[in-house]
């Protein structure tokens, strides 16, 4: 029998329905307001206190902290302990989340707070052993330096303790669900060792060339070498006999950015309007929120110094005091060697050396992982260093690659940093450099006494045999290091007749220099452009220096656009390709944001490299291709001169390579900006965002990258350096710190810190320098009394 159930529905009158709708809408609105209000409260409660008085345990006397209009803390203390204590406290106020991630990354402890996706990265850094190297270094520091480290750590820990008690830690800790642990002096030294890694030297290039020798005919492989290796036949044979798969061994390796480098120069008073030296410095590293640099002014009865430091380290590494100023670029020497180690088939922890099996040092590590069980991890260290080729996986192979590197030895860079602050002339500054071992840096120097100077300073190995182009046999003593270039013989220049000194990661000494420094140098365009500009005027001033730091004239385009056009058959092109080439007409070779030509040129050069290599070399191996830009430039030059190489010939010859890569570049540009090349604009693709580490998780980018991306002129090869992510176009590399000093008055300097001083999203100094950074503007930082007038004043009172 069929049962019919009748439902009764209540029909509300229209007025009643309208009232319900309003009620629901008001409820949703109210909940939204409450949610926004709660989020605003949550964000604002952790913004650092910058005015008033804070009682702090551990201080001896009162410390005054003046934050100027750019958010730069001017710390005035009555003694060294309080000065570095306050520096630690104030830096933690602005940057504690960054500091914590920095020490975790360098120590291989990210998985503990990020999860399993960071495990390979942690294994890489546990294997490399930056923290172990930092531990060894601590014993080499003076009592004064150890006190500075301890005072700084004490200040950081007082901030952490207060923030935990008041529940005012930055929002990032709430999002990630953890709190920072106590800071130690070892954390600061480990961050310093990470910077040596970020500016380290060339192991990835050796691994890449190892892959070439194993997988390509020798003549084809050697085309991508900067030169033929010394003792080539023996080393090449050793590589051929190796059983290591480079792609698998280093698939998860952390590779420093290829364009990590810098510009710096000093100009003699004879060439300046003020009659005193000018100094300019702009180190090129990754761009992010917050900046890798933290600007600070430190003042006590013993020192008065201003400049920048990496958050987490005491002192000032780049800057000026009352009589001198200094800046750096990366020398980029060969200070890392990979050794091919032969393993005992009967004992995986023994390796052959001079006909005997030697047992490696075994280090047992435990890696803690968020929401997972901890993993035990084994690090194997031979006489040449840690086995790097097995961090991601272990296979029972008869060979492995170990890394020997200067930074894994004890070193005392912080000692040098503290002495820089007190130096009053070139001789005292040069003496301080004896403590600066790694990474090797090109220091430029200027003084109120008129001296300008340069020195390539650091530990640079001397080898018995080999030239660091390829991994070398580790089973014999033939390829050991015999020491380092003698300190007195490191490249040094004082008061040259040219009236200036400039470095831009290009070759620092001529062929007559007796020691090997490096096989790989930056492309020459930044160096040449700096020299051209400095030589173009009889008298230079501060404005000239600032304009040069932001200069976007592209010497690479000036060289290659005529070559590309001459070797491209226009008759075989699509209409859109011909329209694209029209953008080169009347181009003045500046990488300006409102032009189409820079977009086409840079995409075309990238697509030439992609066409030559992407189908033959895996993505994991290509990321090891050090110096690819120089190699591609040379392949095109030689083919244009009638000496076409194997890589270009196999792709159909130069004309075919250029035509096919042009088509790919135009299609790529069209995907970004449409099919009318005349409307393309470099700045709509090439834009700076300064991404926060948590912004990769949507929708957190709306919170942490609130300003969005700003058009940015320049490129990787211009003095105003602006490297980019090839997939997105976003500018992610460049000079987050730019500074210019006129030694007529070293108590003031012209600076910019992109994107700003603070790591707190609600701080007025979070992204306040982004516009200045992308438009070439500067703020002035004073070391006299000027900063007190408009500053926010915080008094740190002994408790």
Condensed to tens digits (0 to 9), the pLDDT of residues 110-125 reads: 999 999 999 999 999 9
Q: How many CB atoms within 10 Å of residue 529?
A: 24
Q: Say what the pLDDT of residue 5 is.
A: 41
User: What is the share, in percent, of the chain residues with pLDDT greater than 90?
Assistant: 89
Mean pLDDT throughout 735-763?
Answer: 97
- Determine if the peptide bond prior to 290 is cis (ω within 30°): yes
Q: Say what the pLDDT of residue 195 is.
A: 94
Mean pLDDT throughout 132-149?
Answer: 97
Asked if residue 335 has pLDDT above 50, the reply is: yes
Q: Say what the pLDDT of residue 558 is.
A: 98
Q: Say what the pLDDT of residue 17 is.
A: 59
Question: Domain extents for the chain?
Answer: 261-295+318-333+413-470+478-549, 555-730
Burial status of residue 727 (CB atoms within 10 A of its CB: 0-12, 13-18, 19 or more): exposed
Q: Which of 19-23, 40-44, 233-237 has the lowest mean pLDDT?
A: 19-23
Residues with Cβ within 8 Å of 557's Cβ and at least 6 positions away in sequence, in order, are 587, 589, 591, 597, 598, 601
- Determine if the peptide bond prior to 699 is cis (ω within 30°): yes
User: What is the share, in percent, of the chain residues with pLDDT greater than 70?
Assistant: 95
* Per-residue DSSP letter, 446: E
Residue pair 471/340 in contact (Cβ under 8 Å)? The answer is yes
Condensed to tens digits (0 to 9), the pLDDT of residues 506-523 reads: 998 888 999 999 999 999
Asked if residue 597 has pLDDT above 90, the reply is: yes
Condensed to tens digits (0 to 9), the pLDDT of residues 144-186 reads: 999 999 999 999 999 999 999 999 999 999 999 999 999 999 9
Q: How many CB atoms within 10 Å of residue 737?
A: 25
The Cα 752–Cα 51 span in angstroms is 24
Q: Say what the pLDDT of residue 392 is.
A: 73
Q: Say what the pLDDT of residue 261 is.
A: 85
Sign of the four-CA dihedral 239, 240, 244, 246: positive
CATH of domain 555-730: 1.10.1400
DSSP string, 533-587: HHHH-SSB-HHHHHHHHT--B-HHHHHHHHHHHHT--GGGS-HHHHHHHHTTTT-
Mean pLDDT throughout 71-78?
Answer: 98
In CATH, the architecture of 261-295+318-333+413-470+478-549 is: 4-Layer Sandwich (3.60)
Predicted confidence band at 132 (pLDDT cuts at 50, 70, 90)? very high
Among 481, 587, 548, 599, residue whose Cα is nearest residue 718: 548
Phi, psi for residue 608 in degrees, rounded to 5 = -60, -45
Q: Say what the pLDDT of residue 6 is.
A: 45
Predicted confidence band at 13 (pLDDT cuts at 50, 70, 90)? low
The Cα 688–Cα 731 span in angstroms is 5
Condensed to tens digits (0 to 9), the pLDDT of residues 371-390 reads: 999 999 999 999 999 999 99
Query: Average pLDDT of the chain?
Result: 94
Asked if residue 750 has pLDDT above 80, the reply is: yes
Predicted confidence band at 39 (pLDDT cuts at 50, 70, 90)? low
Among 649, 525, 521, 660, residue whose Cα is nearest residue 604: 660
Asked if residue 9 has pLDDT above 50, the reply is: no
Separation of CA 506 from chain center: 18
Q: Say what the pLDDT of residue 8 is.
A: 44
Predicted confidence band at 441 (pLDDT cuts at 50, 70, 90)? very high
Strand partners, 798: 56
Cβ burial 426-463 (10 Å sphere, 16+ → b, else e): beebbebbebbbbbbbbbbbbbbeebbbbbbbbbbbeb
Q: Say what the pLDDT of residue 212 is.
A: 98
Structural Rg of the chain based on CA atoms: 28
Asked if residue 723 has pLDDT above 90, the reply is: yes
Residues with Cβ within 8 Å of 136's Cβ and at least 6 positions away in sequence, in order, are 409, 410
| 239 to 209, 342, 399, 575: CA distances (angstroms) | 9, 12, 10, 48
- H or E element that contains 779: strand 779-782
Condensed to tens digits (0 to 9), the pLDDT of residues 279-330 reads: 999 999 999 999 999 999 999 999 999 999 999 999 999 999 999 999 999 9
Q: Say what the pLDDT of residue 268 is.
A: 98
The Cα 446–Cα 94 span in angstroms is 31
Cβ burial 12-24 (10 Å sphere, 16+ → b, else e): eeeeeeeeeeeee
* Total-model pTM: 0.93
Condensed to tens digits (0 to 9), the pLDDT of residues 624-679 reads: 999 999 999 999 999 999 999 999 999 999 999 999 999 999 999 999 999 999 99
**Rounded to 10 degrees, what is the CA torsion of 715, 716, 722, 727?**
90
């Amino acid at each position: 029998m069929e049962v019919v159930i009748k439902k009764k529905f209540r029909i509300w009158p229209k007025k009643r329905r309208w009232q319900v709708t309003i009620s629901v809408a008001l409820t949703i609105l109210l909940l939204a307001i409450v949610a926004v209000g709660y989020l605003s409260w949550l964000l604002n409660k952790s913004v650092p206190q910058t005015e008033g008085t804070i009682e702090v345990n551990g201080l001896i006397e009162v410390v005054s902290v003046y934050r100027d209009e750019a958010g730069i803390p001017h710390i005035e203390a009555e003694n060294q302990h309080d000065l570095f204590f306050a520096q630690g406290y104030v830096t933690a106020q602005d940057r504690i989340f960054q500091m914590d991630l920095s020490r975790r990354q360098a120590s291989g402890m990210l998985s503990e707070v990020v999860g399993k996706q960071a495990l390979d990265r942690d294994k890489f850094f546990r294997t490399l052993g930056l923290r172990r190297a930092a531990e060894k270094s601590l014993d080499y520091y003076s009592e004064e330096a150890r006190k500075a480290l301890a005072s700084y750590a004490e200040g950081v820990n007082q901030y952490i303790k207060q923030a935990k008690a008041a529940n005012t830690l930055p929002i990032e800790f709430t999002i990630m669900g953890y709190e920072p642990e106590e800071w130690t002096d070892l954390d600061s030294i480990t961050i310093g060792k990470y910077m040596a890694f970020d500016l380290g030297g060339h192991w990835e290039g050796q691994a890449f060339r190892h892959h070439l020798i194993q997988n390509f005919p020798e003549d084809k492989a050697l085309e991508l070498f900067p030169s033929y290796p010394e003792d080539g036949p023996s080393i090449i044979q050793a590589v051929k006999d190796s059983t290591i798969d480079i792609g698998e061994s280093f698939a998860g390796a952390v590779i420093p950015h290829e364009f990590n480098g810098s510009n710096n120069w000093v100009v003699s008073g004879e060439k300046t309007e003020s009659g005193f030296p000018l100094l300019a410095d702009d180190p090129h590293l990754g761009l992010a929120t917050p900046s890798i640099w933290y600007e600070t002014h430190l003042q006590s009865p013993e020192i008065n110094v201003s400049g920048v430091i990496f958050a987490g380290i005491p002192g000032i590494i780049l800057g000026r005091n009352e009589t001198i100023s200094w800046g750096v670029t990366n020398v980029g020497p060969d200070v890392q060697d990979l050794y091919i180690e032969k393993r005992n088939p009967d004992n995986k922890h023994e390796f052959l050396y001079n006909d005997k099996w030697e047992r490696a040092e075994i280090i047992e590590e435990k890696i803690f992982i968020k929401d997972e069980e901890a993993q035990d991890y084994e690090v194997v260290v031979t006489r040449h260093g840690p086995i790097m080729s097995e961090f991601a996986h272990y296979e029972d192979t008869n060979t492995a690659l170990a890394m020997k590197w200067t930074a894994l030895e004890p070193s005392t860079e912080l000692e040098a940093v503290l002495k820089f602050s007190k130096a009053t002339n070139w001789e005292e500054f040069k003496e301080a450099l004896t403590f600066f071992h790694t990474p090797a840096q090109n220091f430029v120097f200027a003084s109120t006494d008129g001296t300008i100077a340069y020195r390539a300073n650091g530990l640079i190995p001397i080898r018995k045999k080999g030239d660091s182009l390829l991994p070398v046999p580790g089973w014999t003593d033939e390829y050991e290091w015999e020491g380092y270039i003698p300190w007195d013989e490191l490249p040094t220049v004082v008061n040259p007749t040219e009236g200036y000194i400039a470095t831009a990661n290009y070759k620092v000494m001529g062929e007559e220099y007796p020691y090997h420094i490096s096989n790989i140098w930056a492309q020459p365009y930044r160096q040449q452009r700096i020299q051209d500009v400095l030589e173009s005027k009889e008298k230079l001033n501060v404005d000239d220096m600032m304009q040069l730091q932001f200069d976007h004239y592209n010497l690479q385009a000036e060289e290659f656009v005529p070559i590309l056009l001459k070797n491209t058959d226009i008759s075989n092109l699509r209409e859109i390709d011909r329209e694209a080439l029209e953008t080169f007409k009347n181009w003045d070779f500046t990488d300006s944001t409102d032009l189409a030509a820079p977009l086409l040129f840079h995409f075309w050069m990238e697509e030439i490299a992609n066409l030559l290599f992407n189908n033959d070399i895996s993505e994991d191996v290509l990321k090891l291709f050090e110096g690819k830009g120089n190699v591609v430039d040379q392949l095109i030059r030689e083919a244009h001169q009638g000496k076409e190489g194997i890589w270009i010939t196999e792709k159909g010859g130069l004309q075919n390579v250029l035509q096919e890569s042009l088509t790919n570049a135009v299609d790529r540009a069209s995907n970004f900006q449409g099919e009318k090349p005349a409307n393309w604009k470099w700045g709509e693709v090439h834009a700076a965002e300064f991404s926060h580490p948590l912004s990769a998780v949507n929708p957190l980018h709306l919170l942490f990258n609130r300003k969005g991306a700003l058009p940015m002129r320049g490129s990787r090869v211009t003095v105003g350096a602006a490297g980019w992510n090839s997939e997105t176009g976003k500018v992610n590399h460049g000079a987050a710190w730019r500074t210019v000093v006129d030694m007529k008055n070293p108590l003031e300097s012209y600076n910019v810190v992109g994107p700003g001083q603070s790591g707190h999203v609600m701080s007025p100094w979070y992204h306040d320098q982004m516009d200045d950074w992308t438009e070439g503007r500067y703020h002035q930082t004073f070391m006299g009394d000027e900063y007190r007038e408009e500053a926010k004043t915080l008094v740190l009172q002994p408790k």
